Homo-oligomer: A and B are copies of this chain.
């Protein structure tokens, strides 16, 4: 019989690209397996692979510790008998939380409501209300298996004319957006962030772009994706910019998709606070349709493996929400341990609770480490000739610009690679550090970047390797 080939598959699927787990990540995995099999491997000039390609704080080698409260609640939900078999192990507030969740959910081995456990959605609504000072409604909240699942659902709903419907995405962007748009045959409409102004977003620039589209007689995009705090840029929007974006959405009838998964990754919260688009939309008194996404995978939680998150709909019609419900019901429900994680995210221990002191210590430590590491990395990278890195007030990433000589570009071409992918592959080969080339996120023609996470053990040694590599690479491919 004749075999399936790539060319015989859904052509939309063929167009999907996802650089975060692309060629580099696959090669890094091969190195990891090699090292595992023979620790004293003499072929490789490094003893450890450092996966800086993905914001995965708890992965082996990075080891950001999980928060004890979350894991204790999770363990009690898994094996309820522990409450009686090992009562001394669990603080009172942990037991009370597990009891409350058990009362509502019963076994976490059962499917829940497809939109997520109603009580947990109620807690999410309370969290949002407390964060923003404006009401939120459990019926407008969907728990999801990570933010990605929610983004994918929304994009699939919004693409009403495959091959035609456009969605505005930032460049550089998190490639989930281009990948999902490709999968559903949506058209990415790129707008550029301004590196010279700290990767800022300009509503005016997007407005000009939309005017050009309108003047050309083309269909205007349906939605605008904003990632705040930014991925891969680590930028943070200020309130006037957010106000201007909401105004823009109102003027051009754009659904605002606000990816706010890094909202608690703030390195200088006093001077650079996070404001949700929910708050901005409500206070604008405009009827802008907003879907905002949050996740347990980021922040100081870092619970990527549980697959938990939520999205909130604002100013979205009930019949459209009913359509979302129908779609999520086909997948039955989000993972229960992800939902439990969301409950812990939105209802952390409070002052006075037995778990509070440990929770505070653990979260403070992680926040502090991330902030220190980020500024140390920025400083070290900026000290290198040919590297320029915008400082980051939030998220988990840096996106340094690298100068590549025409010799390096020619060598990349000869190897059939994008210049920054060529650089990143050489970096991996030399140091075991896996980053994602800027071509995976998008950048201006002729510019080159890479994204790296601010998650690493021993930042001094790590950033030292990055610096040394760049210097060696520049020697090998000097400027003309």
Contact = CB atoms under 8 A, between A and B. Distances in A.
Interface of A: 1-6, 8-11, 13-14, 16, 18, 20-22, 29, 54, 56-60, 63, 66, 68, 71-72, 74-76, 78-79, 81-82, 85-86, 88-89, 106-114, 145-146, 148-149, 152, 156-160, 162, 176, 179-180, 183-184, 249-250, 253, 255, 286-289, 297, 302-307, 315-317, 319-320, 323, 326-327, 329-338
Contacts of A337: 78, 306, 335, 337
A74 B66 contact: no
A289 B3 CA distance: 8
13 contacts: A1-B250, A3-B316, A6-B319, A8-B160, A9-B320, A14-B323, A18-B330, A56-B110, A58-B106, A109-B302, A111-B305, A180-B330, A307-B335
B330 A58 contact: no
A10 B332 contact: no
A353 B278 CA distance: 54
A329 B18 contact: yes
B86 A16 contact: no
Contacts of A6: 319-320, 323
Contacts of A183: 156, 327, 330
A253 B16 CA distance: 27
Copies in the complex: 2
Given A1-B253, A58-B106, A86-B89, 9 more contacts: A6-B323, A9-B323, A10-B157, A60-B110, A72-B79, A82-B82, A82-B86, A85-B86, A145-B307
Contacts of A82: 75, 82, 86, 89
Contacts of A20: 329
A10 B156 CA distance: 7
A13 B152 CA distance: 13
Given A6-B319, A10-B158, A13-B327, A335 B332 contact: no
A82 to B, nearest CB: 6
A162 B163 CA distance: 12
A116 B452 CA distance: 24
A286 B8 contact: no
